[in-house]
Amino acid sequence: MNTALPEFKVLATDMGFPEGPLALPDGSVLVTEIRNQRIQRIYTDGRVDMIACPGGPNGLARGPDGAIYICNNGGSWYLPNHFASMGPAADYEGGSIERLDLATGVVTKLYTHCGEHRLSAPNDLVFDTLGGFYFTDFGKKYDRTRAHGGIYYASIDGKSITEMVYPISAPNGIGMSPDGKVIYIAETETARIWAFDIVAPGKVAKQPAPSPHGGRLVYEFTHYDRLDSLGIDGEGNICVATLVTGTITVVTPAGKFVRAVPIPDGYITNICFGGADLMTAYITVSSTGKLVSMKWDRPGLKLNFSE
């Protein structure tokens, strides 16, 4: 493991648990603030737009219509001066999938349920080439119980949502392989990366027991860590934000450790790639409330509908 700190640039500070960085075609970057219930748009000239988003905005992705799609965890309760969630907010009613019109700043709810079941805490999402999106629902922790998590597939018109995997333990980051045939999931509490082979839009092949939910185990940390969101590079490697040790850990689809990039914070929560060559990594540093950027050693994967 390389312990030397990389050179990085601080783009924003004083954010309330930043997550969901998304690089836009004009060079600006969107970042959610879970604790502050808003989204920041940070421009290259230093300007910042604030977009209100009640609840707990988390993961972001740009859809085929140019709108931004939001995983909203419904809101969390925090102790004073504590950066991590302690449980649901007092006004928590459940999580949702939302659509943001960047031109107007209007946020519209698309999904609050899958069938009769309330979404608990949608966390992160990724689009396929057809314009549908896969998303994780992290579940929600309470004083003495925990709601299970799941993986879903939905359309942008608010009319179709499918439960693909349930239950799964605290699924967080989600990414898609360059060929669009595999989705990768980071489980927070188990510190495992799982793969699910896509056999049709919204349908994955399930592995038999002892897989707890049908996923293929890609990588398991051998020391205590927790995983948050992830990005995929242009070679298909999985770059996962690793809590506790404060790194971006890179592993191959075959489960081989590549490297760990240290960032001086125990709550590195997400990474995305941007810039004309996709070699700029934008990383959310959440316990100290920052968005930072750094040069990556290879291009990131170009996301569907990113232009």
Average of per-residue pLDDT values in the chain: 95
Query: Is there a domain that residue 77 lies in?
Result: yes
What does the pLDDT look like over 242-257, one tens digit per residue? 999 999 999 999 999 9
Query: Is there a domain that residue 4 lies in?
Result: no
Distance, in Å, from the CA atom of 101 to the CA atom of 84, rounded to the nearest integer, reads 29
pTM of the shown model? 0.96
Residue 2 pLDDT more than 60?
Answer: no
Structure-token match 């859809």, residue found: 63
Mean pLDDT of 237-243: 97
Distance, in Å, from the CA atom of 157 to the CA atom of 162, rounded to the nearest integer, reads 14
Query: Is there a domain that residue 300 lies in?
Result: no
Query: Is there a domain that residue 3 lies in?
Result: no
What does the pLDDT look like over 276-306, one tens digit per residue? 999 999 999 999 999 999 999 999 999 999 9
DSSP assigned state of 237? -
pLDDT band at 70 (very low <50, low <70, confident <90, very high): very high
- How many CB atoms neighbour CB 99 within 10 A? 19
pLDDT of 264 = 85
Query: Is there a domain that residue 276 lies in?
Result: yes
Structure-token match 């996962």, residue found: 240
Helices and strands (H, E) in the chain, number of each type: 0, 29
Contact 165, 198 (CB under 8 A): no
What does the pLDDT look like over 100-131, one tens digit per residue? 999 999 999 999 999 999 999 999 999 999 99
Q: What percent of the chain has pLDDT over 70?
A: 96
What does the pLDDT look like over 141-177, one tens digit per residue? 898 999 999 999 999 999 999 999 999 999 999 999 9
What does the pLDDT look like over 16-33, one tens digit per residue? 999 999 999 999 999 999
Count: domains in the chain: 1
CATH number of domain containing 175: 2.120.10.30
Residue 1 pLDDT more than 70?
Answer: no
Distance, in Å, from the CA atom of 48 to the CA atom of 250, rounded to the nearest integer, reads 31
Give the DSSP per-residue string, 96-127. Answer: EEEEEETTTTEEEEEESEETTEEP--EEEEEE
Query: Is there a domain that residue 29 lies in?
Result: yes
What does the pLDDT look like over 195-221, one tens digit per residue? 999 999 999 999 999 999 999 999 999
pLDDT of 288 = 92
Residue 99 pLDDT more than 70?
Answer: yes
Query: Is there a domain that residue 218 lies in?
Result: yes
Distance, in Å, from the CA atom of 79 to the CA atom of 223, rounded to the nearest integer, reads 28
Domain that holds residue 168: 12-295
Query: Is there a domain that residue 305 lies in?
Result: no
* Of 235, 240, 198, residue with least CA distance to 216: 198
